Structure 1
Amino acid sequence: MLIAIIGIVMLIIAFSLSKSNYQVYRYATGIKVAGVALILIGALASSVVQVDAGEVGVQKLFGKVSDRTLESGLNVVNPLVEVTTFNIKTQNYTMSATHEQGDNQGDDAIRVLSSDGLEVVIDLTVLYKVMPAQSPNILREIGTDYKDIIVRPITRTKIRDNAVYYDAVSLYSTKREEFQSRIFKDIEANFKTRGLLLEQLLIRNLNLPASVKQTIESKINAEQEAQKMTFVLQKEKQEAERKRVEAQGIADYQQILSTGLSDKQLQYESIKAQQAIATSPNSKVIIMGAGRGNMPLLISDK
């Protein structure tokens, strides 16, 4: 468009020179030709717009926004149209207490009050993107600075609104996933009405007051000790049960020996023992005596 404007200026100058003397008039014709050429080149260049990959173009003519979006690549448009591009790739916005990590300089973490009145500091990252079909409405109703107008304030407000339903300990431990899911649904619905798609909400860090942290750590340590003691007691009970069964088996065995063995059985067991000794290759056995009261005599050759 700038080239066309230069061409128009050159035409105006040329027409002004044509009214001067003859020597100046000779240059006016060349200036006119050059001006017309610049106007044509400028009009042609302004009629072709390149939209980069991952972007869409929105046309605006004399303040009126067109609902037709331009896809990535080369597009032929009205030379007088102003094209505004929107990034439709996934974008992130981080609010963090660490100075180097947040989108804004300094401590930009979200400070909320829990149901028990304690201050909880939350570091958060929002992943979102512009819905291509809604980019004309965004330009018309919000503008290109949707990150600071929509993403940041709505996210911070919805987190504060939902944090009051949880106490600090629950936010830090058992209810963290539930809290994240709840604020995701709330923010997602709000973004959608404004042409933005919420992809993911990441709670990067959640800090509690030092006194609350100490209480939680003490509680966790106590629970771990209780679980350890339960395991030890269970093991001791199992060992006691094993010893009881073993003792009962020994008692039953002794009872059988004291009441169930007769003289015949004892004599039979003695004969079996003598046979085992007799078959040993390390000794020779001579059995002397007979009768019930005589004991065997064992003689070895060693």
Structure 2
Amino acid sequence: MANNQMDFKFPKGGVFFIIIAIAVIILFSKSTVTIGPGEGGVIFETLGSGIDTEKTYGEGFHIVAPWNRMIVRKVRQQSISNEMNVLSVNGLEVKVSGTIWYEPELVNLGNLIKTKGEDYERELLDPAINAAARSVVGRYTPEQLYSSKRDVIEQEILDEVQLVLKDQYLSVKRVLVEDVKLPSTIRIAIETKLKQEQESLEYEFRLSKAKKEAERQKIDAEGKAIANKILSESLTDKILQEKGIEATIELSKSPNSKVVVIGSGKTGMPIILGNQ
């Protein structure tokens, strides 16, 4: 019985082309890099001198030699938070929690990675922050750290960090001191002292307000006394008699029946007698 099945024969050289295609795909995938938003990249030349510090790659699609490696890092503004134990000016240990905003310099990303490594935050930024925080906090008392000096401390830490990182290809934008934790006994003592100071200020304010009110009343009374004295001195007997005569004339014009006695009374003023 004849075999009707047709034998499938793989084309000559087909395996070779498949191998070539796979190799091309692998080569292409290793030769292409996509750098995301807010990121930058530098080339590590495996067969060359290592990090290429002359060129930095920005966002988008890039083709690199398959034997090289693209190192991609964030170059937008970032932040890290930390808590550290530091000593105040009188040797008291306090815990300071804060956040720092920083940004690698894109054009110098190659120099940054070449000199400080890929983990440059741990190698460069953390030590600078710790040193600056210890130096600045060590200038202040616990009371100052706890209350009124927070913004000043932030600015001084920022200034010191920027000084340490000068020409290190890493820019620090802002420092925020979020919390200062003191031992409970010291914290309670400071809060009690602040409360007493506030109560004292309120008491002084009430005294000052009462004193001002008393002065106002005194001035008002003195003013009224002076006005009355002036008015009293201006009212002579002659003026009073003239005012009385004017009043009598007005009353005499009334339709009610009356008797006007001229020249009566101790002062010679007219006297009006009458009824409805």
Same fold by TM-score greater than 0.5: yes
Report the counterpart of residue 41 of structure 1 in structure 2. 25
Following superposition, the deviation at residue 85 of structure 1 comes to 0.6
**CA RMSD after TM alignment:** 2.9
The separation in 2 between residues aligned to 1:92 and 1:117, in whole angstroms, is 30
Amino acid at match of 1:111: N
What does 1:211-230 correspond to in 2, within 5 Å? 211-230=185-204
Asked if 2 retains the 8 angstrom alpha-carbon contact of 1:191 and 1:197, the reply is: yes
Q: CA distance change for structure 1 residues 287 and 268 in 2, over 3 Å: closer, same or farther?
A: farther
Task: Judging by fraction of residues, say which structure has more helix.
Answer: 1
The answer on 1:284 being equivalent to 2:256 is: yes
Amino acid at match of 1:65: I
* 1:35-92 per-position Cα deviation (integer Å, ceiling 9, x unaligned): 2233333333433322222111211122611122222111222222111111112222
Q: CA distance change for structure 1 residues 278 and 220 in 2, over 3 Å: closer, same or farther?
A: farther
Q: CA distance change for structure 1 residues 269 and 51 in 2, over 3 Å: closer, same or farther?
A: same
- SS for the counterpart of 2:238 is helix
| Aligned pair partner of 2:74 in 87, 105, 110 | 87
Report the counterpart of residue 160 of structure 2 in structure 1. 186
Asked if 2 retains the 8 angstrom alpha-carbon contact of 1:126 and 1:201, the reply is: yes
Name the TM-score, length of structure 1 as normaliser. 0.74
Structure 2: runs of 5+ lacking an equivalent = 1-9
Comparing 217-226 and 153-162, the one that deviates more: 217-226
Following superposition, the deviation at residue 258 of structure 1 comes to 6.3
Amino acid at match of 2:40: V
Following superposition, the deviation at residue 27 of structure 1 comes to 8.4
| Aligned pair partner of 1:147 in 115, 121, 138 | 121
Following superposition, the deviation at residue 253 of structure 1 comes to 5.3
Q: How many residues align?
A: 261
- Looking at both structures, which has the greater relative contact order when contacts are Cα pairs under 8 Å and sequence separation is at least 6? 2
Q: CA distance change for structure 1 residues 246 and 178 in 2, over 3 Å: closer, same or farther?
A: closer
Following superposition, the deviation at residue 143 of structure 1 comes to 2.4
Amino acid at match of 1:273: A
Q: CA distance change for structure 1 residues 287 and 219 in 2, over 3 Å: closer, same or farther?
A: farther
Q: CA distance change for structure 1 residues 219 and 289 in 2, over 3 Å: closer, same or farther?
A: same
Q: CA distance change for structure 1 residues 192 and 248 in 2, over 3 Å: closer, same or farther?
A: closer
Report the counterpart of residue 52 of structure 1 in structure 2. 36
Q: CA distance change for structure 1 residues 276 and 227 in 2, over 3 Å: closer, same or farther?
A: farther
Amino acid at match of 1:69: T
Asked if 1 retains the 8 angstrom alpha-carbon contact of 2:264 and 2:271, the reply is: no
Following superposition, the deviation at residue 115 of structure 1 comes to 0.5
* 1:126-168 per-position Cα deviation (integer Å, ceiling 9, x unaligned): 1112211222123323322223222223212221122111111
Amino acid at match of 1:296: I
The separation in 2 between residues aligned to 1:260 and 1:42, in whole angstroms, is 117
The separation in 2 between residues aligned to 1:208 and 1:83, in whole angstroms, is 47
* 1:198-250 per-position Cα deviation (integer Å, ceiling 9, x unaligned): 12111111122333333333333333333333333333333333333344345
Report the counterpart of residue 5 of structure 2 in structure 1. none
Asked if 2 retains the 8 angstrom alpha-carbon contact of 1:169 and 1:212, the reply is: no
Asked if 2 retains the 8 angstrom alpha-carbon contact of 1:142 and 1:149, the reply is: yes
The separation in 1 between residues aligned to 2:85 and 2:21, in whole angstroms, is 62
The separation in 2 between residues aligned to 1:158 and 1:249, in whole angstroms, is 65
The separation in 1 between residues aligned to 2:198 and 2:180, in whole angstroms, is 23
Q: CA distance change for structure 1 residues 29 and 222 in 2, over 3 Å: closer, same or farther?
A: same
Following superposition, the deviation at residue 259 of structure 1 comes to 5.6
Structure 1: runs of 5+ lacking an equivalent = 1-25, 96-108
Q: CA distance change for structure 1 residues 259 and 285 in 2, over 3 Å: closer, same or farther?
A: farther
Name the TM-score, length of structure 2 as normaliser. 0.80
Asked if 2 retains the 8 angstrom alpha-carbon contact of 1:277 and 1:285, the reply is: no
The separation in 1 between residues aligned to 2:14 and 2:39, in whole angstroms, is 42
